[in-house]
Structure 1
Amino acid sequence: MVRLEDPLDIGGLTVPNRLYRAPLLECAGNGAGAVDALVSHLEPAATAGAGLVCQGATIVRGPGGCAAPNMTYVDDPDFVSRLSRVTTAIHDHGSTVAIQLEHGGLRSMETWHAGYRSRHPDYRQLAVSPLPPLLRLADRLGLLSYDPDVMTREEVYDLAADFGRAAGYAVDAGYDAVHIAGANMGIVHQFLSPFYNRRDDEFADGVRFLEVVHDEIRDHAGDVPLLTKVPAETEAPPGVPHITSREAVHVCRRLADYGYDALVPVTGSVFWDASIVRGAFPDHAWRDDRFRDGYVEAFGGRLRAALVAVGNWLESLVYDFEPAWNAGICRAVRRVVDVPVLAEGGIRTRGEIDRLLGRSCDMVGMGRPFYAEPRLPARLLDSTPETSAVCASCNNCTVPQVTGADGVCRTPDVLREAGRLRRDGAYDRPDAAPESSSERD
């Protein structure tokens, strides 16, 4: 029987237990306070005992390519070297740390954020292929703004080399593993998806891009443990070309055979929609006056912001919360690969974790619950099946991020319960190393 408290080997890295903080938006940027912000976001999970802490999506090439405001670029070796403070802080608590590498491609802010487009009129989106018909229609209707730069074969190799260089900088700064953002409509997902990828060269097979990324990372970062998300586009509308569950399992098998050390299978859509953050409509976030002007700037006017809110509400009806919604695809992948399979998405209780481990996956991650409980592992490790995260899956944490706001819980009832647990000492670990000054602040 596999237990959450058991160690796990990932590509030669011993992770002390099987609970990880999944990649989230830290919104730290690259300014003077970026390193402190990353420490304050990531160290609490290590303090509380998470076996692996994943720094959220960081961009391998600038300018542009950010899927959300204030994402961090890791294309400057001098800046990345300063992130050794982050890795040291996590290692001091006995945890391990991964960095997730990404480029937004057609999902970048230069596509959807009106204010950002007006400030950077020369930015174009990297594209795997010419726009699919549905996106051309969205562009003509003014719903989105596309000016795609379709990559040549040589430019694809250059982008893969950027992933490799960023991985090398990260390993030099002390990161234990590299996590490729292979889902959520970023550039890697776009290579894999038949909706986006209609190339006629070797990269018509989207897995080939991940193989070249693997080789570049090995050249620049050696045998660092290498993970990637793999998407199944199970929520695609009828008639739209998409990655089926069967095809996603096949992709995972190929990547494991090629040398990837762990896989994170997930489900979603070909579009950037609520299928990746299933749960309730975030009414509190949409009504919060602090973000109203930010929504207007992001979406290009009050009417457009209101229409986005309506669309968000409709999506919440379709993509209601489902416990452990990626368990099925994880289980199917685990049957055909001999590397660890990591599960995330809708996992909220210790009982769910115990049912998943050893059957559907080898390690379990949580994302949004850490916004409400940065020290959540302290409650889940060595706990009973009834122990549950306080996260209500209401998504009030996610929508304000389009304005550049921090990723934190803003739901009063949830915050009250987290506060009560904190006062009761639920997050205290007697054997924990002292917290850093950044975390105390």
Structure 2
Amino acid sequence: MDKTLNSPLEIGDLTLPNRLYRAPLLECAGNGPDAAETLVAELEPAAESGVGLIFQGATIVRGEGGCAAPGMTRVHDDEFVAGLSAVADAVHDHGGRIFAQLEHGGLRSMETWHAEYREAHPDLEQLAVSPLPWQLKALDTAGFLAYDPHVLSTDEVYDLAADFGRAAARLVEAGYDGVHIAGANMGIVQQFLSPFYNRRDDEFGGSLRARTRFLEVVHDEIRERAGDVPLVTKVPAETAAPPVIRRHLSLDDGVRIAERAAAVGYDAVVPVQGSVVWDMSIVRGEYPERAWNDDRFAAGYAAAFGSRLRARVVAALNRLQSLQYGFEPAWNADFCRRVRERVDVPVLAEGGIRGRDEMDRLLGDACDAVGVGRPFYAEPRLGARLLDADGERAVCESCNNCAVPQATGAPGVCRTPSVLEARGRLDRAGAYDRDE
């Protein structure tokens, strides 16, 4: 049978109504009394528009540390997570399914890069897989980043994996349909997988198989504590590693990690190409000039990066990166295709996928489901257009004006007038109306 966007898909024992998913984004909901309400406001429109699977963005498995950006939600507290049942209910009311993405930032946490946060939490250490590579020590010495890492002992690695399992159990109890492990984007899972970060000499370091061990233990902890809940993981390939970094995950390594993840029991994989460091390789597109020049965020940038001068330096580096990592349609497609040839679980593709025709070409070839992320900032009910008509495309221009202000804690919303005008015209024409 031909696979199109409207075909159902099974992940584990769960049947999705179609093959379109909302990729994980930063919802900036935090853990305050309005967190569930904020998440409903962010996620329900996608479900209402017909999107079959909603991935709630990275949620942190511990009560302190580990947040890569302001506003991330923590899922360490039983009472708080129970209140998130309202989020699951809102998605289910429209026939959708919802997974939460579990994360810990490790060396990529705010205690590394956010100056004001470090000042407010002087005793907070980053969790590290191994002692710092010399390249990161150099950045620390030069004052670009600040590292004070605590290298996890073997017992502490098991404790961290158990926190992933406990978080999954809480979310399933609250009504979530599945769990997504943030295995890429330079978080702690990728740091275990990557030879750049992982130079351990215990069971979690050494060969690629040993470096995959943490992902396996996370799987086992979730199965023990949350049962046979559908379980998805991102799989990284560090294809954008800078020249000074010779030890990194190749595309072949990424394929082997995906094979191992499927063999140990993950129900689907999401192959993602990126870098060993935080750069624009995962948010490709234009330089976000409007966002950097917006006076509303100037004080926030200074607080995040240490001063207005440092913020200007970061903006200049961002401009250079935009030249290196311009927008590329479906930039993970080849990686996904290679993985799909080697595994017997669904392969999910995301990264630069914008149009319905492109989605239907990818399905059954490179992947089994397609994800869209930032375009939902511009069109919260984008699913209605993509699912209901051939030839439709997101109005997103991949300008990144939505993403940069999130460093200040601002919500992810579209701030580009031409895109907002296009959305307005479509809204007035009834393009987002859908019969349920």
The TM-score bracket by the shorter chain reads over 0.9
Structure 1's consecutive aligned runs of 4 or more residues displaced over 2 angstroms after TM superposition are: none
Q: CA deviation at 1:382?
A: 2.9
Q: CA deviation at 1:356?
A: 0.3
| Residue 121, structure 1, aligned to residue 122, structure 2 | yes
Q: SS at 2:214's partner residue?
A: helix
Q: Show the counterpart of 1:237.
A: 242
Residues 53-92 of structure 1 mapped to structure 2, 5 A cutoff: 53-92=54-93
Q: CA deviation at 1:170?
A: 0.3
Q: Show the counterpart of 2:413.
A: 408
Q: 2:272 pairs with 266, 276, 289, which one?
A: 266
Q: Show the counterpart of 1:399.
A: 404
Q: Show the counterpart of 2:139.
A: 138
Q: SS at 1:68's partner residue?
A: coil
Q: Show the counterpart of 2:435.
A: 430
In the aligned structure 2, how far is the partner of 1:62 from the partner of 1:199? 26
TM-score using structure 2 length = 0.98
Q: Which letter maps to 1:151? A: L
Residues 194-209 of structure 1 mapped to structure 2, 5 A cutoff: 194-204=195-205, 205-209=210-214
Q: SS at 2:304's partner residue?
A: helix
Q: Show the counterpart of 1:285.
A: 291
| Distance verdict in 2 for CA 1:408–1:173, change over 3 Å | same
Q: Which letter maps to 1:177? A: G
Q: CA deviation at 1:430?
A: 2.2
Q: SS at 2:24's partner residue?
A: coil
Q: Show the counterpart of 1:227.
A: 232
In the aligned structure 1, how far is the partner of 2:53 from the partner of 2:120? 37
Q: Show the counterpart of 2:9.
A: 8
In the aligned structure 2, how far is the partner of 1:33 from the partner of 1:259? 36
In the aligned structure 2, how far is the partner of 1:157 from the partner of 1:8? 33
Gaps of 5+ in 1: 432-441
**Aligned pair count?**
430
Q: Deviations over 1:87-137 (max 9, x none)?
A: 001001000000000000000000000000000101000000000000001
Q: SS at 2:281's partner residue?
A: helix
Q: 2:219 pairs with 196, 214, 220, which one?
A: 214
In the aligned structure 2, how far is the partner of 1:63 from the partner of 1:238? 34
Q: SS at 1:70's partner residue?
A: coil
In the aligned structure 1, how far is the partner of 2:237 from the partner of 2:365? 20
In the aligned structure 2, how far is the partner of 1:25 from the partner of 1:410? 16
Q: Deviations over 1:181-219 (max 9, x none)?
A: 000100001001111000001100221000000000001
Residues 34-183 of structure 1 mapped to structure 2, 5 A cutoff: 34-183=35-184
Q: SS at 1:231's partner residue?
A: strand
Q: Which letter maps to 1:103? A: H
In the aligned structure 2, how far is the partner of 1:172 from the partner of 1:199? 35
Q: Show the counterpart of 1:383.
A: 389
Q: CA deviation at 1:239?
A: 4.7
In the aligned structure 2, how far is the partner of 1:109 from the partner of 1:96? 30
In the aligned structure 2, how far is the partner of 1:62 from the partner of 1:316? 35
Q: Which letter maps to 2:328? A: E
Q: Deviations over 1:257-293 (max 9, x none)?
A: 1100000000010010000100000000001111000
In the aligned structure 2, how far is the partner of 1:335 from the partner of 1:272? 29
In the aligned structure 1, how far is the partner of 2:369 from the partner of 2:202? 36
Q: 1:303 pairs with 296, 302, 309, which one?
A: 309
Q: SS at 1:355's partner residue?
A: helix
In the aligned structure 1, how far is the partner of 2:337 from the partner of 2:178? 23
In the aligned structure 2, how far is the partner of 1:273 from the partner of 1:146? 18
Q: SS at 2:204's partner residue?
A: helix
In the aligned structure 2, how far is the partner of 1:28 from the partner of 1:263? 26
Q: SS at 1:230's partner residue?
A: strand
Gaps of 5+ in 2: none
TM-score using structure 1 length = 0.97
What is the identity percentage for the equivalent residue pairs of Structure 1 and Structure 2?
Answer: 68
Q: How large is the RMSD of aligned CA atoms in angstroms?
A: 0.6
In the aligned structure 1, how far is the partner of 2:357 from the partner of 2:329? 11
In the aligned structure 2, how far is the partner of 1:196 from the partner of 1:416? 44
